[in-house]
Amino acid sequence: MRRVGLLDYGSGNLHSAARAFRNAGADVVVTSDQAVLLQQDGLVVPGVGAFAASMAGIAAVGGIDVIRRWAEAERPLFGICVGHQILFEAGHEHGTHTDGIGLYDGEVIGLDARRLPHMGWNTVVAPAGSALFSGLGDERFYFVHSYAALTGPADALVTTAEHEDARFVAAVERGHVSSTQFHPEKSGAAGARLIANWLQTS
């Protein structure tokens, strides 16, 4: 997989994500143009901020249709942080329910922890057979979030992490769709390896 499209819907981490995928060997285009995105080999949905605002931004550029068409065609898709969260059925923030894309079963809710946001480096527990975490052991990844899915789809490889006593979904791999709650583009050598794994195995 050489050509990667980053869906531009106003997310704040576009350029750092684009740089990370380029460093891993991909030719990256950052755009909201559906025709251009559909010409790429892989699609990346980045994200920072709130679930509802991200869904509104994605909807405004026609991204919901792009993501669903991409998934239906079984083409490589990767979501990051809120771009991971919006792949679930719904998100609940500040008492507001917002429908997600619905590629994964489950909902995103607030973490039950005293210290929020969960911000900084943390280890994860990846399942056997994970392609994303191939060659990665006890490395730490960089998280910034107060909300998460607590369970992943039953038909997927689900990686978990813990913040205080709250266990949550740190990554999902299901067919051609993968996503991470953490930011691989901010996770140093471990994140670079994970991105390279995605490019090589998708």
Catalytic residue annotation: 81, 183, 185
d(CA 79, CA 179): 4
With the C-alpha atoms ordered 38, 39, 44, 50, is the resulting torsion angle positive or negative?
negative
CB atoms within 10 A of CB 19: 12
d(CA 129, CA 198): 14
Q: Which residue has the tokens 């050489």?
A: 2
The answer to whether residues 77 and 178 touch, using CB atoms and an 8 Å cutoff, is yes
**Measured over all CA atoms, what is the biggest interatomic distance in the chain, rounded to whole angstroms?**
45
d(CA 180, CA 158): 10
DSSP at 139: -
Query: Residue 107 corresponds to which tokens in the numbers above?
Result: 């909902």
